[in-house]
A = this chain, B = another copy of it.
Amino acid sequence: MIIGVIGLGLIGGSMAVDLRKRGFAEKVLGVESDRLNAEAALKIGLADEIVPLEDCVAGSDVVVLAVPVDAATRLLPRVLDMMAGTEKVVIDVCSVKEAMCKVASGHRARRQYVATHPMAGTEYSGPWAAMPGLFDGRACIFCDVEESSPKAVKLIESLYDTLNMRTICMRSDAHDMHVAYVSHISHITSFALALTVLDKEKDEKHIFDLASGGFSSTVRLAKSSADMWVPILAQNRENVLRVIDTYIDKMKEFRGAIDGFDEARIRELIEEGNKIKRIIR
């Protein structure tokens, strides 16, 4: 099978590597608008060729849209236009799904599109961030599968099977709400932590000296790229605002307990938070 990957960054590049290594793809056609990224992707071996978008769609059985969600919403209708009347299938891998499903809605080739979100990643981006095994054992969410043809869904299930992912089906609006709570807010809290520390500690030497492992892991996501995260936060605006509000309330509860010398309440809050142990190993 020939796989076209539009956007050879962390996610697209890592998919390309494992799909080829594990025999699902006999060939990978890449589309990459950034010249440096394109050259690097070829050199690293993420794709066999870098081709224009039209040639990628024309030459591939499955096209993977692996660009930030603002670009993906623009590209999806174009790709569907090119695919209409063929057996080809297109998927996207974006962290926001309602907007993607909306732009595809009513398209004559809608059933050739499968909306997916493989829940894996690191704080790095670009072709040099791609790595084998990135998806192994993680969850992949399929959204609004009733809008896709069963044949297309089955093909994409076998693609994610190859990547050793468990698949979960969900409505796109429910997906966007859940990922706001479990994924998007973690990024915002990390960015805010980085901003706080950079603001307060003008002397970077102190941050470096005093940063324990705890700080490093909590602030890790603050290295994430603006190109990816600006459109995610903008497109998942309603859900993200709601979860930020809850989060600020929780911070204020801590603040109130500490301010009021209320050690019993600090303890309650910490022990309530500790319950995350039951869920996250």
Where the two chains meet, the residues of A that have a C-beta atom closer than 8 Å to any C-beta of B are 119-123, 138-139, 141, 166, 168, 178-179, 181-183, 185-201, 204, 206-226, 229-231, 233-234, 237, 240-241, 243-248, 250-255, 258-259, 261, 263, 266-267, 269-281
Question: In the docked arrangement, what's the CA distance between A51 and B234, Å?
Answer: 60
B198 touches A272 (CB 8 A): yes
Smallest CB separation, A106 vs chain B (Å): 25
A-B contact pairs, 13 of them (CB 8 A): A139-B209, A182-B211, A183-B210, A192-B251, A194-B275, A199-B246, A207-B280, A218-B218, A222-B276, A223-B276, A223-B277, A229-B266, A237-B261
5 tightest CB-CB pairs across the interface, nearest first? A194-B273, A191-B273, A194-B276, A186-B218, A192-B250
Q: Which of B211, B237, B279 contacts A280 (CB 8 A)?
A: B211
B194 touches A182 (CB 8 A): no
Smallest CB separation, A218 vs chain B (Å): 4
Nearest residue (CB) in B for A190 is B218
Question: In the docked arrangement, what's the CA distance between A81 and B222, Å?
Answer: 48
Nearest residue (CB) in B for A221 is B214
Q: Which of B120, B197, B220, B225 contacts A212 (CB 8 A)?
A: B120
